Amino acid sequence: MKKLLKAVRQLYLAITGSIAFWPTLIAIVFFLLALVMVRFEGTPLSVYLERQIPLFKNVKEDVDNARLIINVLATGTISLTVFSFSMVMIVLSQATSNLSPRVVPGLISDKTHQVVLGVNTGTIIYAFFLMLSFKTEGTSSAVIPVLGILLGLFFGILCLGLFVFFIHSISRSIQVDNILKRVYQKAIKDIEQQGEINVDDNPAEVTNERHAWSVFQSVESGYLRRIQKEALLEFATQQDVIVEVLIPIGGFMVAGYPFLKFSRDLSQIEDLEESIIACFIFSMEEMIMEDYEYNMNQISEIATKALSPGINDPGTAANALDFMTLLLARRLKAKESSYLRDKNKNIRVYLKRSSLDTLLFRYLAPIRTYGKEDVKIILKLLESLKILIYLDRYGEKYLPDLLNHVMAVRDDADNAIKNLEDRHSINLMLEELAACFPVESLKDKVKMLSADTKKN
């Protein structure tokens, strides 16, 4: 039963994450509407409406005109749909080549674009079904779906309006500022959702609870896409055990490698593997993850791609660093780990989260490596670190880690930048940064670049 539920969840995620999900639903609605309109034709209400509205009389008097209207509706909507799909493909191609392949799933999952494509596709299906409702014998008004034709004209006008909106929306969606803003907002939402898990956690309590652990090896390979937290918490509560997840959301797991830790040995429990694996969903594709690190990785890749010789756009990299700074500043307020508690407030599950030092290395180091010869990027990196140091000046929890990354930026600049004017600007930024450290011993470690850049 648990395997079946997991298979259903995986199928649900695959279907809802597809670009064809909403267009298919909307197309089905239009198909059902066409059936209703054909059945509605000839009813007393339909006949009454045709007599009261003069426009209906003009349509039902000539079957050829009615066929022509439907044909124009179908062919015109097909042309709009083909052009819309072509625009989507062009946008995805540009996003992949100029930004990062990681942003493509976000563009595909945009509900507004899917709705536009769905209305266009549904209108085509609606028009085709109305064509089949025409009868060849006679020209009486009963064989012409008058109300259906006029409703189809309304759908055609709606498609034209949505096409104008689609062109405007798709042109904005490819702008790097809008992509960065969307990714940033998604990351903030994920951080807030994870922060709600462990508001009342006591780190001392967590440390005291840890003792001898029993390792559980994974039986599946792939990216950890989702953790069924309710099911995992229920399992841990029933077995009276503490579970620690060893990889974060989005991490890659290989079958046979340690995946979980238990506070006691559970090897004698029947169907242990089935019960555990039912709580996790893996995917062989790196799809959209419900974790802020996935979005931070997108921002980092956009910055590094902008710094590549083929793109050479340091302005985009600087903008990406601004959004990265906002996310890291928000991360300063979060805990290093997330915990799930049972109804008695006992900690049952540890969820893996990356430390701030890991995040800095993982997402700022590539930008530093690719932009170490660009004084603008070096200054932007130092400014970002200065902001983080200032925000942590009272807690002083992350100052050593931040200092290490400041020194890494300084060392790369010392080796790569030789222009005296540029080095002077970097030294001024280092002086400002050193003044943010509340501890004198840390200030002394933020040394200037080795070259003497003082002006005569």
What is the share, in percent, of the chain residues with pLDDT greater than 70? 78
Four-CA torsion 55, 57, 58, 60, nearest 10 degrees? 120
DSSP-derived pairing of the beta strands 214-217 and 258-262 = antiparallel
CA distance linking residue 315 with residue 104, whole number of Å:
21
User: Residue 52: is its pLDDT beyond 70?
Assistant: no
Domain ranges of the chain: 2-174, 187-192+289-335+354-445
pLDDT digits (tens, 9 = 90+) for 194-208: 654 443 444 444 444
At 123, the pLDDT band (50, 70, 90 cuts) reads very high
At 355, the pLDDT band (50, 70, 90 cuts) reads confident
> Would you give the distance in Å from CA 451 to the centre of its chain?
44
User: Residue 142: is its pLDDT beyond 50?
Assistant: no
CB-CB contact of 254 with 217 (8 Å): no
Return the pLDDT at 197.
43
pTM of the predicted model as reported, rounded to 2 decimal places: 0.75
- Cβ neighbours, 10 Å, residue 53: 14
Return the pLDDT at 439.
64
The DSSP string of 352-376 is: ----HHHHHHHHHHHHHHHHTT-HH
- State the average pLDDT over residues 313-325: 92
H/E run at residue 401: helix 399-416
pLDDT digits (tens, 9 = 90+) for 63-108: 777 788 888 888 988 988 888 878 777 777 777 777 777 777 667 6
Beta bridge partners of 349: 243, 340
pLDDT digits (tens, 9 = 90+) for 230-248: 888 888 888 888 998 888 8
Measured at the alpha carbon of residue 22, what is the angle toward residues 17 and 26, in degrees to the nearest 5?
165
- Residue identified by tokens 């609605």 is 29
Measured at the alpha carbon of residue 174, what is the angle toward residues 222 and 80, in degrees to the nearest 5?
100
Mean pLDDT for the chain overall: 80
Which range has the worst mean pLDDT, 118-122, 199-203, 279-283, 389-393? 199-203
At 47, the pLDDT band (50, 70, 90 cuts) reads low
CB-CB contact of 85 with 117 (8 Å): yes
Higher-confidence residue of 58 and 360: namely 360
